[in-house]
């Protein structure tokens, strides 16, 4: 005879039985009781149904959460991909511009006939460099003015086998030993065409803008201590500005303007300087 006391025990055990946590002996005891007790059987069936519903609800919640999560992941992936594409386009464009500018500059550098004029301003000092180059021959003068007064002039001259290196400082004129001149001659055009990689680096970091400078359509590259205006047509710098920075502090910026002409220099432009007043320096 099964009493109400058994029913109480069975009903206490049912949740564990449903979740298969009870041992074999207990299972047997429960199953035997359920066969004979309709009340406990009824409770058992209800518990099973309830568990099933709960499980389904939980699964549904999980599915909903996963869907939400994966759509967020898709959006994130899309954003990352879009950013990568934008980055690649920007880097690609800047690299392309800088490479084609450098190609143009190289073409111009290949000319061995060119005229260049540089104006370099720093505060009250102006340095004008003028250079005629034809083949191996050249005439380059560098004149420095302070507050409009000429204080220094350096002349480099080479025609055929003749070379001259003249300096003039505060009225004193010296003719230097031409041996010392070999490593001193300045080539303005070569100078400004240097630093293609540095240009590219700046361009990638700070970007390239289109602008006008000295009447030319230009790209401008700006670093923290540096601005370079590059002629779109020739790939050559038309203006460079060097600013003060942490390493180099200057009272004023250095501004250099460049002018070039290619294939216009004639033999008659490379004139031997008058050396009458010059004292030979040994």
Q: Least distance in Å: CB of 7 to Zn ion?
A: 3
Nearer to Zn ion, 40 or 175 (CB): 40
Q: How far is the CB of 61 from Zn ion (least distance, A)?
A: 34
Choose, by CB under 5 A, the member of 37, 186, 196, 255 that binds Zn ion: 37
Question: Which residues, other chains included, contact 234 with Cβ-Cβ below 8 Å and sequence gap of 6+?
Answer: 104, 105, 108, 260
Q: Which is nearer to Zn ion, 42 or 93 (CB)?
A: 42
Instruction: Please report whether residue 43 would count as binding Zn ion according to CB under 5 A.
Output: no
Report the residue from 14, 17, 30, 40 that binds Zn ion according to the rule CB under 5 A: 40
H-helix or E-strand spanning residue 6: helix 4-18
Q: Is 154 in contact with 141 (CB distance < 8 Å)?
A: yes
- The distance of closest approach from Cβ of residue 32 to Zn ion in the complex, given in angstroms and rounded to an integer, is 11
| Chain position carrying tokens 């041996």 | 179
How near is the Cβ of 17 to Zn ion at its closest, in Å? 13
Contact between 7 and Zn ion per CB under 5 A: yes
CB 119 within 8 A of CB 257: yes
Question: What is the dihedral sign for C-alpha 45, 51, 52, 53?
Answer: positive
CB 210 within 8 A of CB 218: yes
Paired tokens of 63: 């599915």
Residue 32 to residues 36, 66, 155, 169: CA-CA distances in angstroms?
7, 43, 120, 122
Considering beta carbons, is residue 36 or 56 the nearer one to Zn ion?
A: 36
Question: Which one, 46 or 99, has the nearer CB to Zn ion?
Answer: 46
| Residues 200-239 within binding reach of Zn ion (CB under 5 A) | none
Minimum Å distance from CB 8 to Zn ion? Answer: 8
Residues of the shown chain interacting with Zn ion in the complex, contacts defined by CB under 5 A: 7, 37, 40
């Amino acid at each position: 005879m099964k009493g109400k006391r058994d029913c109480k025990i069975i009903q206490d055990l049912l949740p564990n039985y449903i979740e298969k946590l009870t041992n074999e002996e207990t299972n047997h005891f429960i199953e035997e009781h359920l066969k004979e007790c309709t009340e406990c059987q009824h409770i058992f069936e209800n518990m099973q149904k309830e568990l099933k519903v709960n499980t389904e609800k939980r699964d549904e919640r999980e599915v909903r959460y996963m869907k939400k999560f994966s759509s967020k992941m898709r959006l994130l992936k899309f954003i990352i991909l879009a950013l990568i594409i934008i980055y690649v386009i920007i880097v690609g464009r800047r690299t392309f511009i800088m490479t084609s500018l450098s190609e143009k500059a190289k073409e111009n550098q290949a000319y061995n006939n060119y005229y260049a004029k540089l104006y370099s301003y720093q505060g009250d000092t102006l340095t004008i460099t003028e250079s005629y180059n034809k083949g191996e021959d050249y005439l380059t003068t560098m004149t420095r003015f302070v507050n409009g007064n000429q204080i220094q002039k350096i002349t480099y001259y080479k025609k055929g086998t003749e070379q001259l290196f003249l300096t003039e400082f505060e009225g004193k004129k010296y003719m230097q030993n031409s041996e010392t001149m070999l490593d001193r001659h300045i080539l303005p055009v070569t100078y400004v065409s240097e630093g293609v990689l540095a240009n590219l680096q700046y361009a990638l970091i700070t970007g390239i803008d289109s602008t006008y400078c000295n009447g030319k359509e230009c790209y401008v590259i700006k670093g923290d201590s540096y601005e370079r205006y590059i002629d779109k047509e020739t790939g050559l710098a038309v203006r460079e500005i060097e600013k003060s920075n942490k390493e180099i502090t200057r009272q004023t910026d250095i501004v250099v303007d460049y002018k070039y002409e290619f294939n216009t220099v004639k033999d008659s432009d490379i004139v031997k300087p008058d050396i009458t007043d010059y004292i030979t320096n040994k």
